[in-house]
């Protein structure tokens, strides 16, 4: 499975969503960095310092992860909303 080019992914996000400040708010879409570039997506399910998000990885399935742990592995590129 070849990753989508980061610039194309961000262009698509800009056409579909509204960019938001870097803040954990339930329902916001998080565009995360995988391998140093935008390429992983999560949806915030709980806000605040102890917030959480749902994301999926090949071979690992869908899971809810605490934001603190998630962004250590996948730093935030940008935050979006509908």
Residue-wise pLDDT tens for the chain (82 aa)? 567 889 999 999 999 999 999 999 999 999 999 989 999 999 999 998 889 999 998 888 999 999 999 999 999 999 999 9
Residue 4 pLDDT: 80
Tracing tokens 């997506």 back to the chain, one arrives at 41
pTM equals: 0.91
Helices (H) and strands (E) in the chain, counts: 2, 6
Cα dist from 55 to 22, 70, 71, whole Å = 18, 9, 12
Residue 28 pLDDT: 97
Summarize the chain as % helix, strand, coil (round to 5): 20, 45, 35
Residue 2 pLDDT: 64
In angstroms, the CA 4 to CA 27 distance is 23
């Amino acid at each position: 499975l070849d990753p989508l080019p980061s610039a194309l992914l961000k262009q698509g996000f800009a056409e579909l969503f509204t960019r938001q400040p870097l803040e954990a708010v339930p329902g916001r879409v998080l565009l995360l960095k995988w391998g140093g570039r935008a390429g992983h997506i999560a949806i915030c399910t709980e806000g605040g310092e102890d917030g959480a998000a749902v994301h999926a990885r090949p071979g690992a399935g869908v899971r809810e992860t605490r934001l603190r742990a998630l962004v250590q592995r996948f730093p935030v590129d940008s935050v979006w909303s509908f």
